[in-house]
Amino acid sequence: MDPSRLVSLLGEPQFNSFSDPAWDRVEGEWGLALPDDYKWFVSAYGPCVLYGTFYVSHPRGAALNLPGYIAYVSQEARTSQDYCPEEFPHPVIPEAGGLVPVVETFEGDRVFLRPPDDGTDDWTVMVRWDTWEWDWHRMGFVDFLERVLSEPAEVPLISRDCFEWVDVPYRLAEHREADEADEPA
pLDDT in tens, 143-152: 999 888 887 6
Give the H/E segment covering residue 5. Answer: helix 3-10
- Judge whether 53 lies within some domain: yes
- Judge whether 137 lies within some domain: yes
Question: Which residue in 140, 136, 164 sits closest to 152, CA to CA?
Answer: 164
In the predicted structure, residue 111 carries a pLDDT above the cut 90: yes
- Judge whether 170 lies within some domain: no
pTM: 0.84
* SS3 label, residue 77: helix
Q: What average pLDDT does the segment 39-64 reach? A: 84
**φ, ψ of residue 96 in degrees (nearest 5):** -60, 130
How far apart are the C-alpha atoms of 15 and 62, rounded to whole Å? 16
- Judge whether 85 lies within some domain: yes
Instruction: Find the domain containing 35 and state its range.
Output: 3-165
Under the banding of pLDDT at 50, 70 and 90, the label for residue 171 is low
Interacting residues of 68 by C-beta distance below 8 A, sequence separation 6+: 57
- Judge whether 180 lies within some domain: no
The domain spanning residue 110 has which CATH number? 3.40.1580
Under the banding of pLDDT at 50, 70 and 90, the label for residue 102 is very high
Under the banding of pLDDT at 50, 70 and 90, the label for residue 17 is low
Q: What average pLDDT does the segment 118-141 reach? A: 87
- Judge whether 139 lies within some domain: yes
Is 99 in contact with 111 (CB distance < 8 Å)? no
Quick one: how far is CA 24 from the chain centroid? 17
- Judge whether 182 lies within some domain: no
- Judge whether 103 lies within some domain: yes
Q: Is 78 left (phi over 0), alpha (psi -120 to 50) or beta?
A: alpha
How far apart are the C-alpha atoms of 180 and 142, rounded to whole Å? 25
Query: For residues 61-81, b (16+ Cβ closer than 10 Å) or e, as one string?
Result: beebbbbebbbebbeebeebb
Number of domains in the chain: 1
CB atoms within 10 A of CB 121: 8
